[in-house]
Amino acid sequence: MTCNPFLRNTSPAMRRYNAGVALTMGGYLLAVFGTATFVHRHHPHGITVYLLSAMPAFCIFAMLAVVVTYLRDEKDEYVRMLMVRSLLAAAFVVLAIGAYNDFLRSFGDLAPLPPFSQWVVFWIVFAIAQAIQYRNDATPRSTENA
Amino acid sequence: MHNRLRILRAERNWSQADLAQKLEVSRQSVNAIETGKYDPSLPLAFKLARLFDTTIEAIFTDQP
């Protein structure tokens, strides 16, 4: 899920981004497993469920804040543009799948997508888009002086 | 958009990495501009012009 799959860009904004993503992703995994375990064992209800659900959701909001902060702070306009393209590609695929699934559910009596699948699809498409763009940009070191 | 970046860089014997360091961008960005994949913003174009001690028009043209 890192912004730069080949870690070639080491701008301060990118380093903060990578650290922020690692932190929020770690927090997210902890929150998900922690809250799931707690819910499984104690079967809470009422306000506790709302508070527990807010914990992993907060990590997702924080991850989005890390992305927004990166886009604000990145001085390299080309690298920033690549990331915006990848985010748009991810948003496009998620919205397209969501819309198609909504129609299937309306017309075909199909089950909804599993919970959190859109979030997972978003970051997978984002990573693929980044990898494709970076691969297309790849220039052999031997030709850089040409 | 066409540019003379590669020629200007070669005249000074700078690598893409050297130019990227002077511009405070990635080598990837320099390569993208050089190969015409990406047209830089005005601030970056001015930065390039200042670095090569020339005008933006002398670096970038809309005709080959």
Domain ranges of chain B: 2-54
Neighbouring-strand partners of residue B3:
B60
Residues of chain B with C-beta less than 8 angstroms from the C-beta of A75? 24-25
Q: Pick B25's closest partner by Cβ from A78, A134, A145.
A: A78
Distances (CA, A) of A113 to A62, A87, A119, B6: 24, 21, 11, 51
The confidence score (pLDDT) of residue A5 equals: 45
Torsion of Cα atoms, B8 then B10 then B13 then B17, to 10°: 90
Structure confidence at residue B47 as a pLDDT band (50, 70, 90): very high
Express each pLDDT in A29-80 by its tens digit: 999 999 999 999 999 889 999 999 999 999 999 999 999 999 999 999 999 9
Q: Does B63 touch chain A (CB under 8 A)?
A: no
Q: Which helix (H) or strand (E) holds B56?
A: helix B56-59
Q: Rg of chain B over CA atoms, in angstroms?
A: 10
Q: Does B15 touch chain A (CB under 8 A)?
A: yes
Question: For residues B12 and B29, what is the distance between their CA atoms, to the nearest angstrom?
Answer: 19
- Work out the minimum CA distance from A129 to partner chain B, whole angstroms: 16
The confidence score (pLDDT) of residue B3 equals: 93
Question: For residues A36 and A72, what is the distance between their CA atoms, to the nearest angstrom?
Answer: 34
Q: May I ask the CATH class of domain B2-54?
A: mainly alpha
Question: For residues B32 and A40, what is the distance between their CA atoms, to the nearest angstrom?
Answer: 52
- Work out the minimum CA distance from A21 to partner chain B, whole angstroms: 21
In a domain, A78, yes or no: yes
- Inform me whether the pLDDT recorded for A1 exceeds 90: no
Residue pair A61/A119 in contact by the 8 Å Cβ criterion? no
Contact B16 A145 (CB under 8 A): yes
In a domain, A6, yes or no: no
Domain span at A83? 12-138
Express each pLDDT in B4-42 by its tens digit: 999 999 999 999 999 999 999 999 999 999 999 999 999
Question: For residues A36 and B29, what is the distance between their CA atoms, to the nearest angstrom?
Answer: 44
Contact A81 B27 (CB under 8 A): no
Residue pair B23/B47 in contact by the 8 Å Cβ criterion? yes
Neighbouring-strand partners of residue A116:
none
In a domain, A48, yes or no: yes
**DSSP string spanning A18-37?**
HHHHHHHHHHHHHHHHHHHH
Residues of chain A with C-beta less than 8 angstroms from the C-beta of B29? 76-79
Residue pair B48/B19 in contact by the 8 Å Cβ criterion? no
Express each pLDDT in A9-26 by its tens digit: 578 899 999 999 999 999
